[in-house]
Amino acid sequence: MFFEMEHCDTYYGQIQALYDISIRIEADEIISIIGANGAGKTTLMKCIMGLVPAKKGKVLYLDQEIQALKTHQIVQRGISYVPEGREIFPNMTVLENLEMGAYTLKLSAKEKGKKLEEMYELFPKLKERKGQKAGTLSGGEQQMVAIARGLMLSPKLLMLDEPSLGLAPVIVDEVFDTIVHVNKEANIPVLLVEQNAYMALTVSNRSYVLENGVIVDQGDSKVLLESDSIRTAYLGK
């Protein structure tokens, strides 16, 4: 098994946020977690990264338990997390932001240059703007910086938290095209947390539906896309 959460409970202080969470990700998949605001989607991501540790259950990655590891140790093992709101460094250039993504890898100048060229091939606009301060970019371009920075780690698993947040519809399409490209061309599995249920279900292989910290439905994304309950609750149809 590539990645699996088994019966995980998570708390903020005395308040339980996730209940008996079990998900799995195969090495070639895009998996989406959909749900309303406050459902626990971001907490699930933070649980995987050790930012809000599981008090019960296991997090298995490449057949090893990682739930007791520190966040930087999880990153070093190849899990890259692009948080909600992008959290780029606005006063640093695009190039400097990307270089920060590879900071923990201690790459040689040649290796870093190769990684940067890979990112510029994937995101040509970023090459044009590499000397520009990231805070002056459009929302879509900032999201590209955030994803590219996450990919500078050469991750084995890419986790994206609300990548479409605050973006114009035409830019949302572009971002999701990029996610599919990363999965198919770079062979990187993706865990996608997204409020835009339609886009998430459209690009992913399988999905989990989270409500109040509980997984209430799961399955093939195309099947869920046609489900009456999902269409009513999340697609407004």
Measured CA distances, 77 to 32, 72, 85, 152, 191 (Å)? 22, 9, 24, 14, 16
- In angstroms, the CA 79 to CA 98 distance is 17
- In angstroms, the CA 182 to CA 176 distance is 10
- What pLDDT is recorded for position 171? 87
Q: What is the pLDDT of residues 92-125, one digit of tens each?
A: 999 999 999 887 777 788 988 999 999 999 889 9
Predicted model pTM: 0.92
Torsion, Cα 98 41 44 214, to 10 degrees, reads -170
| pLDDT above 90: percentage of residues in the chain | 75
Helix (H, G, I), strand (E, B) or coil at 91: coil
- What pLDDT is recorded for position 202? 96
Q: What is the pLDDT of residues 39-92, one digit of tens each?
A: 999 999 999 999 999 999 999 999 999 999 999 999 989 999 998 877 899 999
Give the sign of the dihedral formed by CA 139, CA 90, CA 181, CA 215: negative
Q: What is the pLDDT of residues 123-147, one digit of tens each?
A: 899 999 999 999 999 888 999 999 9
pLDDT category at 237 given cuts 50, 70, 90 is: low
- In angstroms, the CA 224 to CA 237 distance is 13
Give the sign of the dihedral formed by CA 174, CA 4, CA 84, CA 137: negative
Q: What is the pLDDT of residues 191-229, one digit of tens each?
A: 999 989 999 999 999 999 999 999 999 999 999 999 998
| pLDDT above 70: percentage of residues in the chain | 100
- What pLDDT is recorded for position 185? 87
- What pLDDT is recorded for position 29? 97
Tell me the two tokens of residue 63.
């057949």
Residue with tokens 């932001």: 97
Highest mean pLDDT (candidates 27-36, 139-148, 173-182): 27-36
The DSSP 8-state label assigned to residue 95 in this structure reads H
H or E stretch covering 97: helix 94-101
- What pLDDT is recorded for position 18? 98
- The neighbouring-strand residues paired with 82 are 160
